[in-house]
Amino acid sequence: PPLIRREDYAPYPWRVPTTELRFVLGVDKTTVQAKLKVERNPHANPANVLRLNGDGLKPAGVWIDGSLANSWEMDGDDLLITLPGDAHEVSIDTQIDPAGNSQLMGLYASNGMLCTQCEAEGFRRITFFPDRPDVLSTYTVRMEGSKADFPVLLSNGNCTASGEGEDGSHWAEWHDPWPKPSYLFALVAGQLVANTDSFTTMNGRKVDLAIWVRPEDLSRTDHAMESLKRSMQWDEQAFGREYDLDVFNIVAVSDFNMGAMENKSLNIFNTKYVLADQETATDGDYDAIEGVIGHEYFHNWSGNRITCRDWFQLSLKEGFTVLRDQLFSAAMGSEPVKRIEDVRVLRSVQFPEDSGPLAHPIRPDSYREISNFYTATVYNKGAEVIRMMRTMAGEERFRRGTDLYFDRHDGEAATCEDFVTAIEDGAGLDLADFRRWYQQAGTPKVSAKLEHVGDTATLHLEQAVPATPGQPDKRPMPIPLKIALFDRKSGKHHGEQLVTLTEAQQTFSFAGFDESPVLSINRDFSAPVAIEREVADEDLVFLAANDDDPFARYEAMQDLVVGHLRGLLSGSVDAAKRDSGRAAIGEAFRAVIADGELDDLMRGELLTLPGETYLAEQMLVADPAAIRAEREGLKAWLGQSLESDLVAMHERAAAAPGGMSAEAKGARKIKTSALVFLAAGNPDLAETMAAAQYDAATTMTDRQGALMVLTSLQGPQRTHKLLDFYNRFKGNALVIDKWFALQASSLHPSVLEQVKALAGHPDFTLKNPNRVRSLYMPFTGTAQGFHAASGGGYKMIADLILELDPINPQTAARFVSPLGRWRRIEPERSALMKGELERIAAAPKLSRDTYEQVTRSLG
């Protein structure tokens, strides 16, 4: 497959002012007539040939200006039409088979309903078209089909007409007045019912809202609707963005490759991010639904009104929209807890990506398959990069920048450069060197050393951006670091400051310190970097107790544990030092449990140990089994030495009232935290407590938390409760996904055999991405399963990739990256991982998606 390069961008030679589509719908056969008005683009190099992208299509007929034409030919999958004049009307007929579309790109069938997914390049599987984001067109869509099978017919914009046809058919016509790229086109036809409501915008426009689901799911749509209304309101107040049509529809489908899709006025969602009630969805699910509903809604401006010029600019819409959804969720709940969660995701998913073979800048330079670049780097690091601009500008000036961006580029297909320039102009920042964050991959490492002489504290900072594939040498990045210097006696600091490290090495001096202060650095995680510093445990304990920045407090707890475990894993710590390290951690934990000022949501964060992936990331070469053993050893020690505190904390939380308040959610969170430590320290006690929590549960949060603990234990309650859970929720796909995931992520020694057996369960299918992900993704995080010394875990994932690739290449390719970590794993496992990648690479026929990921991983 060819390599597509950012530098080769050229505008499309034709414009497509209008597009008319006529669908005659059927699950096995849908016919599509496309009528495009085309005219020459005066800003592009002229061409007499109109290249229309296709993917697996055959033209059943081509007409130019109403006459059947033969001035066309195929070039691979693309249709080339020779056009003599400056403006023409081109019509093309195609026929597709939605039921046979297991890739879930283009038009496909899901449980008898028809729906589309066009981003990034799915539209070309529906009809021939310039399927690129810089060709904007106004769409009119007519759908016709059996009224019994497809009583609801939806597309973008407004429904302009509808009527009955012959033989039980009916039709509807939709018109979207906003010009859009093909990737935002959507169509849905099926037996759906709606939760309806309305929202009145700041300028008085009444918008009809509807969330469409299967009838049996209707009762679980209220939270999604409330989240949508909150999103609409928040975007007006926080970014001045108002909705621009009279309708906004959301449809939930159970077969979906990603979380959701922001099609203009017809968002299509994975059911996972729509359906919730307390019995079947956890507090985490509720938060995720609110976040994803917000994310897709916010795309209406950051993505739809202003779209991307080409797919290299993906972070223009995704990075910015992730930042917007993060700020929204923070405003709706706990700001510090949300920040901690976002950083945890960044560190456990994006940092490993940035230090591995798939590392790429937030604005990549080349790709073979764009679906492979919907990554944590483009999304989450992209959000962090824009967040840094916000930090440097301050909220108010940043808002001036975003206002200018929306104003200046409304209706355009823009670039990341356009965004940075608008922020520069609007916020009054100089971002010349800051643009390197768009060009250079790799997580910068910043080493920090504080010296104290006389009354002056001097901070020495040094940065290094590691080499990444294709980028051996890096230039220094501007790194904004929020810092504070704490007085040891009072526990207070002299004011937070923002220092920006712009050079490879720099020093910053602060006068007025009689005693050496305690440094709090990268507060609120102001820059997506790894801070490396020698710091005494006592300083970390001090910050864990005193820092007024909640993120920094969390960070101190994490650093304390990471430092301790790293020492043990490198062998630099003897038994006596291990005991003193544990004692310091134990004290910090006890203080957190006892701190009456803390809310329980935050307490739960402070009591979370750094994950195994994050720990592995701290080492040049990791031994997953050793990391697991040391981390579990610490957990067991904490569980034993804090047993009575943990039991008391669990009892207190169990007595808290239910509901969806922050207090109730916090209580549920720490109940499960307590069980996690007790399970390691006193498995019998934990089994009894978890079984009781399971039995008493009135929420999925409590039930899933208890079952998660039990699945990692080996007592009889494991089997009982797993069976009970399955029988209780049989038929509810999203909950059965949890049942698979809980078993696949467990600490149980036989997880590999269990996952193998689960793959043969009658409810398991490779056709449904949620089900595939729920079984195999959590498994890739298991030291004793995925990283089993036998190599059986690696083989299982490689077999999965090979079997899934012809069915759903996008989902298959996502499983390559866990194997791609081979260079950072100890030699024996590393060889086994590499061997599996080579086996995949040698397969006779691989999709573009999997081929690209495997070759990059081996390269």
Which residues does the annotation mark as catalytic?
296
Q: Which stretch binds ligand HT7 (CB under 6 A): 123-131, 291-299, 637-645, 843-851?
A: 291-299
d(CA 625, CA 757) in angstroms, rounded, equals 23
Q: How far is CA 213 from CA 157, 221, 663, 855, in A?
A: 19, 8, 31, 40
Q: What is the dihedral of CA 671, 675, 676, 678, to 10 degrees?
A: 140
119 scored as a contact of ligand HT7 (CB under 6 A)? yes
Residue whose CB is less far from ligand HT7, 121 or 836 = 121
Instruction: Figure out which of the listed residues 103, 221, 371, 520 binds ligand HT7, where binding follows CB under 6 A.
Output: 371
What does the alpha-carbon distance between residue 295 and residue 318 come to, in Å, rounded to a whole number? 9
Q: Which is nearer to ligand HT7, 192 or 261 (CB)?
A: 261
Least distance in Å: CB of 409 to Zn ion?
18
Pick the closer one to ligand HT7 by CB: 53 or 371: 371
Shortest reach from residue 91's CB to ligand HT7, in Å: 28
* Closest of 382, 383, 480, 372 to residue 433, by C-alpha: 480
Residue 257 engages ligand HT7 in binding (rule: CB under 6 A)? yes
Q: Which does 119 bind (CB under 5 to 8 A by kind): ligand HT7, Zn ion, none?
A: ligand HT7
Using CB atoms within 10 A of its CB, is residue 201 exposed (0-12), middle (13-18) or buried (19+)?
middle
Site for ligand HT7 contains 262 (CB under 6 A) = yes
Stretch that binds ligand HT7, among 224-232, 292-300, 399-407, 676-684 (CB under 6 A): 292-300
Separation between Cα atoms, residue 612 and residue 598, nearest integer Å: 26
- Rule CB under 6 A: is residue 117 a binding residue for ligand HT7? yes
Asked if 797 is part of the footprint of ligand HT7 (rule: CB under 6 A), the reply reads: no
Q: Is 369 in the site for ligand HT7 (CB under 6 A)?
A: no
CA distance 179 to 181: 7
257 binds, among Zn ion, ligand HT7, none (CB under 5 to 8 A by kind): ligand HT7
Residue 157, sorted as left (phi over 0), alpha (psi -120 to 50) or beta, turns out to be: left
Residue 852 engages ligand HT7 in binding (rule: CB under 6 A): no
3-state secondary structure of 643: helix
CB of 319 vs ligand HT7, minimal distance in Å:
10
Whose Cβ is closer to Zn ion: residue 327's or residue 573's?
A: 327
Question: Which of 92-100, 113-121, 505-513, 768-776 is the region at the interface with ligand HT7 (rule: CB under 6 A)?
Answer: 113-121
Binding letters toward Zn ion, positions 717-756, x by CB under 5 A? ----------------------------------------
- Alpha helix (H) residue ranges in 240-347: 283-298, 314-332, 335-345
CB of 108 to ligand HT7, least distance (A): 12
CB contact at 8 A, 682 and 690: no
Q: Could you tell me if 32 and 123 are in contact, meaning their C-beta atoms sit under 8 angstroms apart? A: no
DSSP characters over 143-189:
EEEETTT-SEEEESSEEEEEEE-STTEEEEEEEEEEEE-GGG--EEE
Based on the shown chain and the rule CB under 6 A, indicate whether residue 295 belongs to the binding site for ligand HT7.
Answer: yes
Rounded Cα gap, residues 678 and 687, in angstroms: 9
CA angle at residue 548 from 545 to 552, to 5 degrees? Answer: 75
Which residue has the closest beta carbon to ligand HT7? 258
Measured from the CB atom, is 267 or 463 closer to Zn ion?
267
398-402, long-range: CB within 8 Å, 24+ apart, which pairs?
Answer: 398/423, 398/427, 399/239, 399/240, 400/426, 400/427, 400/428, 401/425, 401/426, 401/427, 401/429, 402/239, 402/426
Does 120 sit behind a cis peptide bond, omega within 30 degrees of 0 on the bond before it?
Answer: yes
If one asks whether residue 283 binds ligand HT7 (CB under 6 A), the answer comes out as no
Q: Are strands 14-24 and 137-146 parallel, antiparallel or unpaired?
A: parallel
Q: How far is the CB of 378 from Zn ion (least distance, A)?
A: 10
Q: Shortest Cβ distance from residue 289 to ligand HT7 (Å)?
A: 14
| Contact residue for ligand HT7 among 38, 115, 120, 446 (CB under 6 A) | 120
Applying CB under 6 A, among 318, 555, 645, 849 the residue interacting with ligand HT7 is 318
Taking CB under 5 A as the rule, which mask of x and - marks residues 291-330 in contact with Zn ion?
---------------------------x--x---------
Q: Which stretch binds ligand HT7 (CB under 6 A): 74-82, 256-264, 639-647, 742-750?
A: 256-264
Tokens 């591995």 -> residue:
356
Question: Is there binding between residue 265 and ligand HT7 (CB under 6 A)?
Answer: no
Is residue 251 a contact residue for ligand HT7 (CB under 6 A)? no
d(Cα 250, Cα 565) in Å, to the nearest integer?
46
Question: Does the footprint of ligand HT7 cover residue 109 (CB under 6 A)?
Answer: no
**What span, in angstroms and rounded, lies between the C-alpha atoms of 821 and 817?**
7
Q: Give least dist CB 105 to ligand HT7, A.
A: 7
Q: How many residues bind ligand HT7 (CB under 6 A)?
A: 15
CB of 811 to ligand HT7, least distance (A): 10
Query: CB 615 → ligand HT7: shortest distance, Å?
Result: 29
Nearest distance, CB of residue 315 and Zn ion, angstroms: 10
Residues 798-817, one symbol each (x = binds ligand HT7 by CB under 6 A, - = not), give ------------x-------
What does 258 bind: Zn ion, ligand HT7, none (CB cut-off 5 to 8 Å by kind)?
ligand HT7
**374 contact, one of Zn ion, ligand HT7, none, CB 5-8 Å limit per kind:** ligand HT7
* DSSP letter (8 states) at residue 96: E
Q: Which is nearer to ligand HT7, 170 or 299 (CB)?
A: 299
DSSP per position, 504-569: SEEEEEEE--SSPPEEEESGGG-SS-EEE----HHHHHHHHHH-SSHHHHHHHHHHHHHHHHHHHH
The minimum distance between CB 184 and Zn ion, in angstroms, equals 12
Residue with smaller CB distance to Zn ion, 321 or 329? 321
Closest CA to 788 of 766, 755, 758, 740: 755
The item of Zn ion, ligand HT7, none sharing an interface with residue 617, based on CB under 5 to 8 Å by kind, is none
Q: How do strand 113-117 and strand 187-190 relate by DSSP bridges?
A: antiparallel
| Count of beta carbons in the 10 Å neighbourhood of residue 636 | 17
Q: Answer left, alpha or beta for residue 498, where phi above 0 means left and psi between -120 and 50 means alpha.
A: beta
By beta-carbon proximity to ligand HT7, the closer residue of 618 and 768 is 768
> Which of Zn ion, ligand HT7, none does residue 477 bind to, with CB < 5 to 8 Å depending on kind?
none
Cα 163 from chain centre: 41
HSE-up of residue 805 (Cα within 13 Å, Cβ side): 24
x-or-dash string of contact with Zn ion, 435-474, rule CB under 5 A: ----------------------------------------
**Sole binder of ligand HT7 in the list 36, 172, 245, 258 (CB under 6 A):** 258
Supply the Cα-derived Rg of the chain in whole angstroms.
Answer: 28
Question: Is residue 271 a contact residue for ligand HT7 (CB under 6 A)?
Answer: no
Question: Least distance from C-beta 259 to ligand HT7, angstroms?
Answer: 6
Chain residues in the site for Zn ion (CB under 5 A): 318, 321
- Residues of this chain that interact with ligand HT7 (CB under 6 A) are 117, 119-120, 257-258, 260-262, 295-296, 299, 318, 371, 374, 810
